[in-house]
Structure 1
Amino acid sequence: MKELSIFIDESGDVGSCSDYYLVAFVFHDQSIGITASIARYRQALSDTGLVERTFHFTPVIRGHEQYGQVDLDTRKSYLMRFQIFVEKTPFRYMVLRYRKREFSSEYMLAERIERELTSFIRDRIEFFLGYDRIKIYYDNGQQTVKHAVHQAIHTCLASSAAIYRNAVPKDYYMAQVADYVCGIELAALRYERHADGATDRRFFGDRRSFTKNYLKKIRRRLL
């Protein structure tokens, strides 16, 4: 039985706390193992004396949560090791991007997410129908996203083809990859709109460096 796993992550929230709202979808063909990639990643951390932590893009960049007491150089090392892991791991992805002020309500945003996700699936229906089973992994952080995903999947594919599972990032490396993808794409928006800050430049350099060393590499995986 051929299985496709879809890991979902979002950046921002549907309220008024952030300017943008992004939803990342990472697609992993379960027939292609990632055990070797994980082993190399863990060994790389060990070789440099880093304690393995659940990768979470914003806390790494900002020095929040479990990275709150971690110095800048060490956080840069965590980012670099995880970036290499991402580059060596087989997956494809897509991201939906929204500027929240363009929507008058959460309902309008939810409608747009469902419509664009439905269109994306239909445009690539042969890809999705090539799998006997599709598993959706999402921590259900935003009800807007959860509802849109369920509706789009049910509209385009047989409801029996999708298995919905909560995904705690610490339990799934691919969920951490989805978080990384979302973080890079949000940083790309900031650079595009000349809204990048000192923290962005400290980790990624100027726009040219960010595009060459991070954005272009990840966008090779677009589905």
Structure 2
Amino acid sequence: MGRDTSSAMVEHLDFFQSFDDVKVYYDNGQNIVKQALDRSVGKVLSKVVVRRRKTSMAGYRLEQVADYLSTIELALVKYEAKEDGETYNKFFGGIGSFKRNWLKQARCKRI
């Protein structure tokens, strides 16, 4: 996972270097993901420029909304490709339930 993240960042290094600040938003849900992100960002963008701060989830509400909406759109892609799997069905229900409830609500929020 770390190698893939580093490779993607190197591939798009010009993009990342065009910013004054790059923030990594991750809720520390899985330690292995946190470690992969930390190592990749530190390796590719230099450990000297990476600053770590303790943050609160309330400070990143916009990112949480973006994460939620991205999850809904990804679920739609998975359902349509018949790659939804049991986790999607347990959480969202079948495709009909997903479209009536989750997708409909998310699409109503579009700007």
TM class by smaller structure: 0.5 to 0.7
Quick check: 1:117–1:152 contact (8 Å CA) kept in 2? yes
1:154/1:194 CA distance change after superposition, 3 Å: closer
What residue in structure 2 maps to residue 129 of structure 1?
17
Corresponding residue number in structure 1 for 2:71: 182
Q: TM-score, normalised by structure 2?
A: 0.67
Matched AA of 1:180 = L
Matched residues, number: 94
1:146 to 2:34 alignment: yes
- Can you give the 5+ residue segments of structure 1 that lack an aligned partner in the other structure? 1-112, 206-212, 218-223
Structure with higher strand content: 1
Tell me the TM-score normalized by structure 1.
0.37
Structure ranking higher on relative contact order (CA contacts 8 Å, 6+ apart): 1
**Is the contact made by 1:137 and 1:164 (CA closer than 8 Å) also made in structure 2?**
no
CA pair 175-194 structure 1, distance change in 2 beyond 3 A: closer
Residues 1-223 of structure 1 correspond to what in structure 2 (within 5 A)? Answer: 113-165=1-53, 166-168=55-57, 170-172=58-60, 173-193=62-82, 195=84, 197=94, 198-203=96-101, 204=103
Cα RMSD over matched residues? Answer: 2.6
1:183 deviates by 3.0
Q: Could you tell me how far 1:131 is from its partner in structure 2?
A: 2.1
Identity of aligned residues (%): 21
Deviations 1:46-75 (A, max 9, x none): xxxxxxxxxxxxxxxxxxxxxxxxxxxxxx
CA distance in 2, matches of 1:118, 1:135: 15
Which secondary structure does the structure 1 equivalent of 2:23 belong to? strand
Long gaps (5+) in structure 2: none
Q: Which has the higher helix share?
A: 2
Q: Distance in 1 between matches of 2:25 and 2:83?
A: 33
Task: State the Cα distance separating 1:136 from its structure 2 match.
Answer: 1.8
The aligned amino acid for 1:158 is S
